[in-house]
């Protein structure tokens, strides 16, 4: 590492559990963030500031004035811009060395199949069930760890689904794709602004732990947070041996 990099990342390097080796692993890694909004903003900013070598962003949307209440990477001056371009600008303002690849389109199966083989971790920062299932299927197919987050009103969730581990569930093991429910969005129900910061920052934390090799992940756990009452709950999750999503891919490995 160069002297300027040792200085920039010194507060991470000082951590015995991280050190120069962990920083080098992070600097050589590639993270994919799907969703450049409320969750994606803090997650991307922290990954860029921590020195993740390559970060890819997927989002088809444009910055709207209603986003600015909570999507902290965007600004009034960038209203109307593509969210991925706005987020890239914010990331590189913090760390000019951040290598950022932008995909200004919806996350569909073809795009995920193109992107996932080269990445080391995937962060699901989206807000709809169908896309989450697509991301999970691709992660199961390519055996990539998935850091999943969600936030609505006062409630947030974060979990890690890592099918490289034999006993670990995938997202579909916990939330089956056949499950029927009414799709709820913050555009109609609202969301507390700092909540997405809490959950997005936790996603960044889990991703950095996976990339650096430090600590243990939330694999096999679903952490739930209620901001209104400042309450945390953690629920254990288990692999569904008959899961129609991850089962066929595990059988091939």
* DSSP sequence for 186-198: HHHH-B-HHHHHH
Token output for 30: 């590639």
Helical H runs in the chain? 3-8, 10-13, 19-27, 40-49, 83-94, 109-115, 129-142, 171-174, 186-189, 193-212, 246-252
pTM, two decimal places: 0.96
Query: How confident is the model over 224-236, as a mean pLDDT?
Result: 97
Write down the pLDDT at residue 182.
60
User: Which domains can be identified in the chain, with CATH numbers?
Assistant: 3-252 (3.40.50.720)
Q: Which tens digit of pLDDT belongs to each residue from 128-151?
A: 999 999 999 999 999 999 999 999
Alpha carbon distance 14, 17 (integer Å)? 9
- With contact defined as beta carbons under 8 Å apart, do 172 and 162 qualify? no
Distance CA(5)–CA(164), nearest Å, equals: 32
Counting residues of the chain whose pLDDT is more than 70, the rounded percentage is 96
Here the tokens at position 100 are 């950022």
Residue 116 pLDDT level (bands cut at 50, 70, 90): very high
pLDDT value of position 179? 76
Q: Cα 84–99–104 angle (5° rounding)?
A: 20
Is residue 126 within 8 Å of residue 135, measured between CB atoms? Answer: yes
């Amino acid at each position: 590492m160069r002297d300027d990099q040792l200085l920039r990342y010194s507060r991470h390097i000082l951590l015995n559990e991280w050190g120069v080796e962990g920083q080098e692993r992070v600097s050589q890694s590639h993270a994919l963030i799907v969703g450049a909004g409320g969750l994606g903003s803090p997650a991307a900013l922290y990954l860029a500031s921590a020195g993740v070598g390559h970060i890819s962003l997927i989002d088809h949307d444009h910055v709207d004035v209603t986003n600015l209440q909570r999507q902290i990477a965007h600004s009034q001056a960038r209203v109307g811009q593509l969210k991925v371009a706005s987020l890239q600008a914010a990331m590189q303002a913090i760390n000019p060395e951040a290598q950022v690849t932008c995909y200004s389109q919806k996350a569909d199966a073809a795009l995920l199949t193109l992107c996932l083989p080269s990445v080391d971790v995937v962060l699901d920062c989206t807000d709809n069930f169908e896309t989450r299932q697509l991301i999970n299927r691709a992660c199961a197919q390519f055996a990539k760890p998935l850091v999943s987050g969600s936030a609505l009103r006062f409630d947030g969730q974060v979990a890690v689904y890592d099918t490289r581990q034999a006993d670990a569930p995938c997202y579909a093991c916990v939330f089956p794709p056949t499950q029927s429910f009414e799709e709820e969005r913050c555009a109609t129900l609202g969301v507390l602004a700092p909540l997405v910061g809490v959950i997005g920052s936790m996603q960044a934390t889990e991703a950095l732990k996976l990339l650096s090799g430090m600590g243990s992940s939330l694999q096999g756990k679903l952490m739930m947070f209620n901001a209104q009452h400042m309450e945390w709950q953690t629920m254990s999750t288990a692999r569904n041996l008959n899961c129609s999503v991850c089962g066929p891919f595990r059988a091939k490995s």
